[in-house]
Amino acid sequence: MSDRKLTMSEALREAMAIALEERPEVFILGEDIGIYGGAFGVTGDLYHRFGKERVRDTPISELGIVGTAVGAALSGMRPIVEIQFSDFTAQAMDQIVNQAAKIHFMVGGGLHVPLVLRAASGSGTGAAGQHSQSLEGWFANVPGLKVVMPSSPYEAKGLLLAAIDDPNPVIFMEHKLLYKVAGTEDVPEGAYRIPLGVSRVVREGKDLTVVATGIMVSRVLAAAAELDKEGIALTLIDPRTISPLDMDPVYESLEKTGRLMVVQEAPEHGGFINEVIAKVVTSQSMGHLIAPVARLAGMNVPIPYAPQLEKAAVPQVDDIIKKAREVVANWR
């Protein structure tokens, strides 16, 4: 490991540069990703380094962008699509859900769609209801799609390179607030891969198992540091890939803690975290629970524009601390 801290934007750009260098069939397409460097600056200087054939600015047409990528992938290319805001995938859902996800199955495995769709996700930037959603649950419900949610620069680089290697479509959800944050882990130079479908135990504790995704991983870590002072020790598990979902670390942790809390930014109703709960209560791990499962998620409302309301609509560090205290204190 080299001693270098990167932001998530830098780590993602480094992963794409490696892929462009390693594979001539890789190219990037999306709105404003060329000279402008991307709406959130993720593609940066890749246009100048690799040229307009490899880093392609597109018209404002998500359906056309994804449709082009599906066709290119079927023809032997490995496109990386950037969608400026994950909300805009709604404009291309037929291409994503009915074409990219299903073609491999519809032709009996005779064709592959090696496509990565990167999408800026989540709230916190004052972008309001149509630019701030967390839609990972939509895609996790579609057979044929893998869904990845990186929580740090180190994870983002390794997961993106693994996603680009994958022979079929991967939805890569990147939280906007994480783009400019430098991670606490060193990000090695060169290529490394983090396998898709493998959960990570971020930290271990004896009192409560917490499963969190995306930006909630760093918020749970911040909460855990405060709870440590009170003698409450959390185990934190980051699924990294929510489809396919690796539950083994969760089951193993519950044997030690007997308590489970799940945390996500997306609205609670119909959210991905409910799948974690369902798998636990229909498994042998149910017998290890000594407390009801706790859920902490976004409100079932569109993300507000007003900063104080936007913040109130999704879990914050104080909310996590309060809920964890309740679970442990009420079920000692």
User: Could you list the active site residues?
Assistant: 62, 131
The type of residue at 76 is G
The type of residue at 277 is I
Separation in Å, CA 278 to CA 23, 174, 234: 40, 25, 21
Report the C-alpha gap between 110 and 121 in whole angstroms.
Answer: 33
Nearest of 126, 138, 128, 178 to residue 12 by alpha carbon = 178
DSSP 78: E
Report the C-alpha gap between 161 and 215 in whole angstroms.
Answer: 20
User: Phi/psi of residue 290, each to 5°?
Assistant: -115, 5
Contact 305, 123 (CB under 8 A): no
The contacts of residue 178 (CB under 8 Å, 6+ apart) are: 8, 150, 151, 152, 214, 215, 218
